Structure 1
Amino acid sequence: MNLIKDLPLSIQVSKKIEDDIIFGYFRPGTKLDEAELCERYGASRTPIREALKLLSAEGMVEIRPRRGAIVPEVNPMTLCEMFEVMAELEGMCGRLAARRIQEDEKKRLLELHKHCEEYLESNDSENYYEKNRQFHFQIYAASHNSFLIEQASSLHKRLHPYRRLQLRVNNRMNHSFSEHEAIVQAIIQGDEVQAEKLLRGHVVIQGQKFTDLMSTINLSSK
Structure 2
Amino acid sequence: MSVVSVPPPAESTPAAQAGRPRVTRAEGLRIQLADEITRGLLLPGTTLDETALATRFGVSRTPVREALRELAASGLIDARPHRGAVVARPSVERLQNMFDVMAELEGLCAGLSALQMTPPERRQLEQLHAEMSALMRQGDFNAYREANEQFHTSIYDGSHNGYLIEITLGTRRRLSPFRRAQFRALGRLALSHTEHDRVVTAILRGDRDSANAAMRSHIAIVHDAYEQYAQNV
TM-score above 0.5: yes
Q: Are the counterparts in 1 of residues 75 and 90 from structure 2 also a CA contact under 8 Å?
A: no
Q: Deviations over 1:183-207 (max 9, x none)?
A: 1121011011211111111011001
C-alpha change, 1:85 and 1:16, in structure 2 (3 Å) is same
Q: Aligned to 1:60, which of 58, 76, 84?
A: 76
> What is the TM-score with the length of structure 1 in the denominator?
0.83
Amino acid across the alignment from 1:151: I
C-alpha displacement at 1:148, in angstroms? 1.9
C-alpha displacement at 1:45, in angstroms? 3.7
Amino acid across the alignment from 1:121: R
Equivalent residue runs for 1:110-129 within 5 Å: 110-129=126-145
Q: Deviations over 1:54-104 (max 9, x none)?
A: 434544335444334333452111101211221122111111110111122
> What is the TM-score with the length of structure 2 in the denominator?
0.80
Aligned residues: CA RMSD: 2.5
Q: Deviations over 1:83-129 (max 9, x none)?
A: 12211221111111101111221122123323322322331222211
Count, aligned residues: 216
Q: Are the counterparts in 1 of residues 48 and 85 from structure 2 also a CA contact under 8 Å?
A: yes
Amino acid across the alignment from 1:120: M
The 3-state SS of whatever aligns with 2:139 is coil
Q: How many angstroms apart in 2 are the aligned matches of 1:132 and 1:95? A: 18
C-alpha displacement at 1:35, in angstroms? 4.3
Aligned to 1:2: 16
Aligned to 2:186: 170
Q: How many angstroms apart in 2 are the aligned matches of 1:15 and 1:59? A: 14
Structure 1: segments with no counterpart, 5+ residues: 218-222
Aligned to 2:176: 160
Q: How many angstroms apart in 2 are the aligned matches of 1:200 and 1:33? A: 38
Q: Deviations over 1:126-155 (max 9, x none)?
A: 221111111111111111222222222111
Structure 2: segments with no counterpart, 5+ residues: 1-14
Q: How many angstroms apart in 2 are the aligned matches of 1:55 and 1:142? A: 28
Q: How many angstroms apart in 2 are the aligned matches of 1:154 and 1:102? A: 24
Q: Aligned to 1:83, which of 79, 99, 122?
A: 99
Amino acid across the alignment from 2:42: F
Identity %: 35
Q: Point out 4+ residue stretches in structure 1 off by more than 4 angstroms.
A: 4-10, 46-50, 56-59
Is residue 2:162 matched to residue 1:146?
yes
Amino acid across the alignment from 2:87: V
Equivalent residue runs for 1:162-201 within 5 Å: 162-201=178-217
Q: Are the counterparts in 1 of residues 72 and 79 from structure 2 also a CA contact under 8 Å?
A: yes
The 3-state SS of whatever aligns with 1:167 is helix
Q: Deviations over 1:12-61 (max 9, x none)?
A: 4332211222233333343212344356x554446645543543454433
